[in-house]
Amino acid sequence: MLPEFVIPNSIVQILNQYLLDDEVGINEAYSSLLINAGSQQHFSYRSDIVKLRDPFHKLLNSYSIPPTTNAIDLPVILGSSNNKPTIIVCAMDSLPPEPDSHHWAKNGISPNDGIQLWIPFSLCEPWNSPKGSMTSNLNFFKPLIESFNVYVTDIYKLFFRIFSNGIYLRSNQIQDYQNLVWGENGSIHKQILKNEIEVLKPAAIVTLGSAATHKLFDLSEAKKGISSKSTSNLIPAFQTPFGIPHYPMPHISNAANGAKAHFIRQLKILRKNGESPNTVIANHLIHSINNS
């Protein structure tokens, strides 16, 4: 059964102000994606690159070869209970398939056609009959939504690839994108994330994967150290300038199974027979936040 998906208007306004100059299109994208949520058929929503706001549009226009596989995962809240605290689960960015992947042709989409809009971790796909990575994703998110309203977002809202020296570079590997500045306001990535945090007032921020953890640390300019809010006295935690406890977790993708196994061993977490690593990590996170 699908959870209740919530998209506060304040979040739409943040996306419209800093990312896409298309408030109507953003709302239409959310409506299209979430009305079709749970459908067995592939569906997507596309926006135009020209609707990107600066400095994103200016950067993409600066490349001699147009970027490809442009994508934005629209943030969403799972749940709306007034009796539950809200937490932010923050990954690095959307990661659509490589340009030569059969994914594009199979679904009748061109990797060079505008910007594909989607939902983080494909959480709009079927929950009752999950396929592929959706199964392991739900092993993490299902326990969380029993205890929290869960806002799922990315540190880098826009993803793209550029062809350089015979290879495709991901946007998160490009220094000009990592350090993208918004006028006199500093990092555009920090500005968007800061606004999300101020609107949501979360009880905790959870980062998935070391890349997202270090980027949050970099953007927040927080001091690294051991905190009482840490998931363990062995795991470094960061107190952001926003005063929000931060919980660094391994990424939940199957590609990070080694990191998850190490995390579970390091914390000496008891694991039931057949229990998914993502379920173990989710339950440990719930316990850590509720007892901090």
Q: Which two tokens stand for residue 284?
A: 């440990």
Is residue 230 over pLDDT 60? no
The Cα–Cα gap between 139 and 144 comes to 9
As a whole number, mean pLDDT of residues 36-50 equals 74
Which residue would you say has higher pLDDT here, 26 or 45?
26
Domain harbouring 254, CATH code: 3.40.470
204, 286 contact by CB (below 8 A)? no
Task: Tell me the sheet residues that pair with 154.
Answer: 91
Q: How far is CA 91 from its chain centroid?
A: 4
What pLDDT, on the 0 to 100 scale, is given for residue 2? 75
- Mean residue pLDDT across the chain: 87
Tell me the per-residue pLDDT of 128-166, one tens digit each, with 9 for 90 and over. 888 888 899 999 999 999 999 999 999 999 999 999 999
Block residue for tokens 């304040």:
10
Cα–Cα dist 154/208, whole Å: 10
Structural domain including 90 reads 5-290
Note the pLDDT tens digit of each residue in 57-71.
999 999 999 999 999
Q: Is the dihedral of CA 277, 152, 74, 29 positive or negative?
A: positive
Q: Which amino acid is at 56?
A: F
- By DSSP bridging, strand 76-78 and strand 5-6 are antiparallel
| Closest to 228 measured CA to CA, from 281, 283, 282, 288 | 288
What are the CA-CA distances from residue 169 to residues 18, 107, 189, 225 (Å)? 24, 24, 19, 32
Check residue 232 and give its pLDDT: 44
Q: Is residue 233 over pLDDT 70?
A: no
pLDDT at residue 181 greater than cutoff 90: yes
What are the DSSP E strand ranges found in the chain?
5-6, 45-47, 68-73, 76-78, 86-91, 115-118, 149-154, 158-164, 167-170, 204-208, 224-225, 237-238, 246-249
Question: Number of structural domains, the chain?
Answer: 1
Are 118 and 94 contacting, i.e. CB atoms less than 8 angstroms apart? yes
* Stretch 18-32: mean pLDDT: 92
